A = this chain, B = another copy of it.
Amino acid sequence: MATDIETVLQANEAFYRAFETLDIRNMDAVWSKADYIKCIHPGWVPRLGWVQVRDGWTTIFNNTSQLRISVCVMETTVRGEIGWVVCQEHLTALSGDRKTEGLVMATNLFERTDGVWRLIHHHGSPVLGPHEEERHSLPMV
């Protein structure tokens, strides 16, 4: 019998596999459709509710031809029917003939409904290097 932590980690893994396929139908399967779902991509303003969240992903998918994501999980927590994963994403993307790499720190919040964990909140943010971090005593833009 898988533990709560293990099943949340499986849901997190399913999210990133869906992300990599660049197919909104796969994203549709991992996201909750509750009216309080939200998604914050690095540097973007929040998307509230599935219509906005879905629009954000299709914008990304329509401008990306290939994507690989390596995920380093830092910690997973479950409190009742809410669980969250803090992880670092290493993204390698092709947009046309342009290859880009990026590091993103993510908080992914899941809610268990009828025994299934679904994503209700994604907050991704850019990661600065250690020297940049030292320079930013107060985290400013």
Contacts and interface: CB of A to CB of B under 8 A. Distances in A.
Given A109-B84, A125-B40, A128-B43, A138 B93 contact: yes
Interface in A82-108: 82, 84, 86, 88, 91, 93, 95, 100-105, 107
Contact of A46 (B74, B95, B101): B74
Nearest to A37: B77
Given A45-B105, A101-B140, A139-B102, A79 B111 contact: yes
A48 B60 contact: no
Given A46-B74, A82-B82, A125-B126, A139 B41 contact: yes
Given A75-B36, A86-B38, A137-B95, A46 B105 contact: yes
Contacts of A86: 38, 40, 46
Contact of A42 (B93, B124, B125): B125
A49 to B, nearest CB: 9
Given A74-B48, A141-B102, A43 B127 contact: yes
A118 to B, nearest CB: 12
A140 to B, nearest CB: 3
A70 interface: no
